Structure 1
Amino acid sequence: MGLHRATVLSCALILCAAISGLGTLAVGFAPGSGVPKHVHGGPVVATVISGELTLQQGGGEKIIKAGESWTEKTGDVHAVVNRSEGVTRVVVSLLLPKGAAATTLVK
């Protein structure tokens, strides 16, 4: 079974005028969906709001459960997948320098 892109069940992007490039995104991952290996152009803080998500990073895997968070440095290669039977909801905050790509897939 291959990795499928996240099904965005709900999405809200908030750009704060005081801090250019700060965005917050709420994403819903359907069972079996995820995002293949990718990097972000700025630091990220992500929190699982409900369900659980498997984070694949640095050659290992970690299950992140509701109420838990993880951080990513600029350029950290990682992937996420919802291996649970229910929808997983995640809130992601990203700080992007001007001109940086939010997400770039990695082969």
Structure 2
Amino acid sequence: MKIFLDDERLAPTGWLQVRWPDEVISYLAKGMVTDISLDHDLGDDARGTGYDVLLWIEQAIVDTGFQPPKINVHTSNPAARIRMLAAVEQITRLAEMKSQ
């Protein structure tokens, strides 16, 4: 399953549109996701951002050896993009370390 997290852009064909980080995390926790594409700003920071999904993935790798899906960041927020891409790099390193 491919998950597209965004509050404004429409998901590409073949991707499931979701609006909130907890929805993405629910699918990830069930092991149903092969790819995710994340926006950062979702219109209600109290409900979370795309970065929260990355934090969950990092913690799941450390706690359980979770195998992350392919991750794409499509946010237009420049500062958030830098932070999210750094998190993706960290996720990649953690996953490689856990798989050895």
Given the two structures, how large is their TM-score scaled by the length of structure 2? Answer: 0.28
Q: Which has the higher contact order (CA 8 A, sep 6+)?
A: 1
Q: Which has the higher strand share?
A: 1
The structure with the largest helix share of the pair is: 2
